[in-house]
């Protein structure tokens, strides 16, 4: 083989390797450690990109599973899942990845209410309908999403206040000292539950809210903040904790301080979400009442997409129903629950 022929051969061979390596390189928009691609990008399936805000609680895990189950291949869907890990920038990257992959629908559980307009405008320009789930978004252009699915967070806060009204009914008018463990600031759950409860509290002059502190919807932060509150205040009558995970941490802090909580305890506990472990705590008498926030939202989202596929109009706002569970009936009420 002549020298010139060998040179041409090696140039051709190196070119083939380069092309092969380029074809195997993942898209720069694909976050391999945060996004799980659909197993089968079948053209007969409806491709859905789902950006979940994180996995900070048992409730969030149940919510994710509900959506994953609803968007299974047997139901006619192909799901691309992304965990935002409590960071809006991760969710925005995921949404842009969905747009790049030309999914049919985008579903978002937003970590916060603001800051979505730009990326949602990009989805709209790409002709991809967006459905918001659980927490709401704040935007001046509500055409950026076709529907929202979730629970009424304001109503949940109101139910907590109404329960406390009944719990205190017939008792004297002594001052009731209340502390509130709030969730992620500016999230729909934090805003709605805070306002709903406080609108009831305003009606009672003897309800004294000592403090409102951010527990970020996590057990560790809930415990940390509750420890500080117990050190600062020695006369707490009621704890309103805006999710179960913070409540679990708060219970640990209360017991480590040598105090009791729940039914006939030193501190009355009102919690939110009503996950399985919270029912355990209610059965033990450690939580007085739990305001349900139903995480099983997947089927309703799938129904909305089905209507859109048929060219039907859909409601802009769709609520998933929730209940109020008291410690005295927890054993009976939990029968048949899947979370």
**Are 41 and 119 within one domain?**
yes
In a domain, 268, yes or no: yes
Tell me the pLDDT tens digit for each residue of 271-308: 999 999 999 999 999 999 999 999 999 999 999 999 99
Q: Contact 90/31 with Cβ under 8 angstroms?
A: yes
| Domain co-membership, 250 together with 184 | yes
Question: What are the tens digits of pLDDT across the range 302-334?
Answer: 999 999 999 999 999 999 999 999 999 999 999
In a domain, 146, yes or no: yes
In a domain, 333, yes or no: no
> Does any domain span residue 12?
no
Decide if 249 contacts 219 (C-beta within 8 A): yes
Same domain, yes or no: 265 and 172: yes
Provide the pLDDT confidence category of residue 224 given band limits of 50, 70 and 90.
very high
- pLDDT of residue 243 exceeding 90, the answer is yes
Residue 113: inside a domain: yes
Computed over every residue of the chain, the mean pLDDT equals 90
pLDDT > 80? residue 27? no
In a domain, residue 11? The reply is: no
What is the DSSP code (8-state) at residue 143? Answer: G
Residues 232 and 311 in one domain: no
Residues in the chain: 339
Residue 253 sits in the same domain as residue 164: yes
Exposed e or buried b per residue across 97-133, where buried means at least 16 C-beta atoms within 10 angstroms of its C-beta: bbbebebbbbbbbbbbbebbeebbeebbeeebbbbbb
- Give the neighbor-by-neighbor strand order of the sheet with 147-150: 35-36, 77-83, 46-52, 105-108, 130-133, 147-150, 317-319
Sign of CA dihedral 187, 145, 339, 34: negative
Residue 16 lies in a domain: no
Domain match, 164 and 242 both? yes
Q: Are residues 90 and 132 in the same domain?
A: yes
CB crowding 9-28: b at 16 or more within 10 Å, else e: eeeeeeeeeeeeeeeeeeee
Q: Do 158 and 248 have their domain in common?
A: yes
Q: Is residue 269 part of a domain?
A: yes
Give the Cα separation of 59 and 57 in Å (integer): 5
What is the total count of domains within the chain? 2
Report the percent of the chain where pLDDT is more than 70.
Answer: 87
Task: Give residue 237's pLDDT.
Answer: 98
The pLDDT-based confidence of 24 (bands split at 50, 70, 90) is very low
Phi then psi dihedrals of residue 109, to 5 deg: -105, 95
Residues 76 and 164 in one domain: no
Q: Residues 239, 279: one domain?
A: yes
- Residue 108's domain comprises 35-150+296-320
For residue 194, pLDDT beyond 80:
yes
Structure confidence at residue 122 (pLDDT): 99
Residues 95 and 136 in one domain: yes
pLDDT tens profile 108-155:
999 999 999 999 999 999 999 999 999 999 999 999 999 999 999 999
Instruction: Tell me, yes or no, whether 71 and 162 share the same domain.
Output: no
pLDDT the model gives residue 15: 45
CATH number at residue 235: 3.40.50.2300
Distance of alpha carbon 188 from alpha carbon 222, whole angstroms: 19
What pLDDT does 339 receive?
87
């Amino acid at each position: 083989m002549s020298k010139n022929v060998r040179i041409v051969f090696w140039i051709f061979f190196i070119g083939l390797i380069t092309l092969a390596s380029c074809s195997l390189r993942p898209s720069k928009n694909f976050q391999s450690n945060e996004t799980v691609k659909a197993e089968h990008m079948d053209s007969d399936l409806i491709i859905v990109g789902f950006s979940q805000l994180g996995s900070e609680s048992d409730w969030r895990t149940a919510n994710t599973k509900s959506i994953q189950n609803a968007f299974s291949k047997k139901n006619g869907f192909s799901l691309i899942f992304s965990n935002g890990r409590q960071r809006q920038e991760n969710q925005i990257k995921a949404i842009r990845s969905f747009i790049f992959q030309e999914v049919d629908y985008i579903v978002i559980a937003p970590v916060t209410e603001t800051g979505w307009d730009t990326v949602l405008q990009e989805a709209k320009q790409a002709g991809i309908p967006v459905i918001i789930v659980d927490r709401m978004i704040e935007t001046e252009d509500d055409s950026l999403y076709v529907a929202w699915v979730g629970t009424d967070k304001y109503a949940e806060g109101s139910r907590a206040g109404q329960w406390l009204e009944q719990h205190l009914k017939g008792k004297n008018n002594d001052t009731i000292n209340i502390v509130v463990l709030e969730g992620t600031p500016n999230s729909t759950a934090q805003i709605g539950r805070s306002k709903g409860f406080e609108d009831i509290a305003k009606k009672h002059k003897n309800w004294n809210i000592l403090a409102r502190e951010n527990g970020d919807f996590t057990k560790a932060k809930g415990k940390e903040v509750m420890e500080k509150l117990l050190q600062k205040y020695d006369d707490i009558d009621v704890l309103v904790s805006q999710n179960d995970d913070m409540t679990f941490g708060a219970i640990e802090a209360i017991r480590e301080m040598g105090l009791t909580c729940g039914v006939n305890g030193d501190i009355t506990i009102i919690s939110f979400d009503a996950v399985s472990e919270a029912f355990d705590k209610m059965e033990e008498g450690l939580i007085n009442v739990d305001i349900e926030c139903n995480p099983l939202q997947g089927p309703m989202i799938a129904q909305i997409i089905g209507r859109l596929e048929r060219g039907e109009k859909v409601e802009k706002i769709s609520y998933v129903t929730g209940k109020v569970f008291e410690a005295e009936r927890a054993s009976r009420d939990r029968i048949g629950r899947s979370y």
